[in-house]
Homo-oligomer: A and B are copies of this chain.
């Protein structure tokens, strides 16, 4: 139900933003391409491009030769018109992985800087740490402060956008109310916060196995916990308080109460994987090591993968029954270490347990999925803000 109404000014703004949207999507387009895409006339396209070029949002990036007539100019969105920054924060935990990974991308999506830091948030204020990281990103890439239009934060927790507060975080200091607005004020940018698993799903949709799917669920098997992201037609399901996908806490039904109350975290969380490894004589001190060891020598791991798969299938069966996704993606360090062996085991286990058939796949993203997803999310935020600002301001 479009309720947009207005005068010719609205029209001009709409046409400009439509053209910009196409340029952002396609990358490089000639006037003739835009004419076909927007169904506008040549003079109008010229006028729109003239205005967008004047505003610094669009530039000529090349010429299309080899055909009769003058070489057509190829227009593209100006990479330096706006930047998006992404910061992925995680608890250091037992692994030696850096606790802050950050990257900066220009409007076209090319990564211009990336840094990794170990930050001890017990002794460092998140606010100053994040501001410093973003400043360092800017220096590395040589970008002015005003250039960054959006900073996307990824944390292992949920974000309540109404209260502007991060909840269910383990990293010290991040749960403080008022933190996010303060950072936004200090950086003078819009700031977005999202769950790390959600952001991994964004990356999966843009560059992974879920590019052409109308909806999918991503099960994240991490070193400690597990998480679920739900993508419905490209938008993520967050739930009332950002708690959608917290299946780690999903209680499992016990027919008689002699069993103590167990949830899915007890079944497939890091500790459970470790214990399962011990039971089957698979070596390794961390869940990742255990799964890697089992995957490299599947014959010696015995029933390790089938049993792990059976447990994963318990959670996936519930997810599939509720959501009926066309694709289920296994991601996270444990899933990636398990690889094809784990995938095969989970596929058979789910086929046995779940009422509906869903394709199951392992992520194809080798890089830091959370960071890439944060970058993608920040980028789309920047693009949408640009398009909206054209529609509103140029009135």
Contacts and interface: CB of A to CB of B under 8 A. Distances in A.
A318 B11 contact: no
Given A1-B384, A318-B250, A323 B21 contact: no
Contact of A247 (B38, B244, B322): B322
A241 B318 contact: no
Copies of this subunit: 2
Interface in A19-53: 19, 21-22, 38-40
- In this complex, the interface size class of chain A, counting residues with CB under 8 Å from chain B, is 35 or more
* Most chain B CB within a 10 A radius of its CB, from A19, A239, A322: A322
A327 to B, nearest CB: 8
Interface stretch (A100-108, A149-157, A253-261): A253-261
A197 interface: no
* Most chain B CB within a 10 A radius of its CB, from A240, A249, A355: A240
A167 to B, nearest CB: 11
A122 interface: no
A215 B241 CA distance: 11
A306 interface: no
A356 interface: yes
Interface stretch (A2-10, A86-94, A292-300): A2-10
Given A6-B11, A11-B8, A323 B252 contact: no
A346 interface: no
Contact of A318 (B8, B22, B318): B318
A239 B314 CA distance: 19
Contacts of A391: 2
Contacts of A317: 250-251
Contacts of A322: 228, 230, 244-245, 247, 250, 318-319, 322-323
A270 interface: no
B356 A324 contact: no
Given A253-B252, A253-B314, A262-B255, A246 B321 contact: yes
Contact of A21 (B1, B14, B239): B1
A229 to B, nearest CB: 11
A326 B14 CA distance: 36
Contacts of A241: 324, 326, 356
B18 A240 contact: no
24 contacts: A1-B21, A2-B387, A3-B21, A3-B38, A5-B38, A5-B39, A7-B11, A10-B11, A215-B239, A239-B324, A239-B326, A240-B325, A240-B326, A241-B356, A244-B323, A244-B324, A249-B356, A250-B317, A251-B314, A251-B321, A252-B252, A255-B259, A263-B355, A318-B318
A-B interface, 7 closest residue pairs, ranked by CB to CB distance from nearest: A239-B324, A249-B355, A240-B326, A243-B324, A250-B321, A5-B18, A5-B38
Given A6-B15, A230-B322, 6 more contacts: A1-B21, A5-B15, A7-B40, A237-B323, A251-B354, A318-B322
